[in-house]
Structure 1
Amino acid sequence: MAKRKRRVFTPEFKADAVRLCKSGDRTIAQVANDLDLTETALRAWVKRADAQAPKSATSNELTTPEREELAELRRKVKRLEMEREILKKAATFFAKENT
């Protein structure tokens, strides 16, 4: 079996392929075969679309923008905690120096 050349697809094409899978009348395997895609790639697109879609209020799964925001906030908290520790040590140092 010859190795297939890597292809690049537009976001619109991916969204249309996912929409075909979600319409319910065909399986992912059938849609992949019809569009000459690998099942693995199409399943990954569907999974990514599910993760990015807004969820109901009861769902605990984060969307991609929420994950990015969470990572940024965690970096900021870590930096602020380091800064606070430095300021505590400096305050202790200067307090000892003045006595």
Structure 2
Amino acid sequence: MGKKSNTSKRDAVVLVRSSGKTVTEAGREIGVSPECLRNRVNQHRADRGQGAAGALTSDEKEELRRLRRENREQQQTIEALKKAAAFFARESTK
């Protein structure tokens, strides 16, 4: 996704909020799909604390991605350590 696309979506969010146009109208006007724009508008609302109940802010989503990545890496490390421990346990009984 290029810079122009991000600018268009930002412009569309402003257009929806300030003009009273529907998401479909605003998206069509600047060439952004209604689904993409709707997601962007909903995310903007969540970031401002006006989203649906349980909606995560952009910062919370980023933190969740980071924590999931760290968790995955730690699980891989644990598996490697388990295999190493099993290997050395077998070697020490020979």
TM-score interval, smaller chain: 0.5 to 0.7
Q: How many Å separate the matches in 2 of 1:15 and 1:27?
A: 10
Matched residue SS, 2:32: helix
Match for residue 32 of structure 2?
Answer: 41
Report the structure number with the largest CA radius of gyration.
Answer: 1
Identity of aligned residues (%): 29
* Structure 1 counterpart of 2:76, one-letter code: M
Question: What TM-score results when the alignment is normalised by the length of structure 2?
Answer: 0.57
Residue 77 in 1 paired to residue 71 in 2?
yes
In structure 1, the gaps of 5 or more residues are: 1-6
What is the aligned length? Answer: 84
Q: Given the two structures, how large is their TM-score scaled by the length of structure 1?
A: 0.55
Unaligned runs of 5+ in 2: none
- RMSD (Å) for aligned C-alpha atoms: 3.6
Identify the residue that residue 43 of structure 2 maps to in structure 1. Answer: 51
Q: Cα distance 1:72–1:51, how it changes in 2: closer, same or farther (>3 A)?
A: same
C-alpha contact 1:51 1:63 (8 A) present in aligned 2? yes
Distance in 2 between residues matched to 1:72 and 1:45, nearest whole Å: 25
Partners of 2:43 and 2:58 within 8 A in 1: yes
Question: Following TM superposition, by how much is the alpha carbon of 1:10 offset from its aligned partner in structure 2, in angstroms?
Answer: 6.4
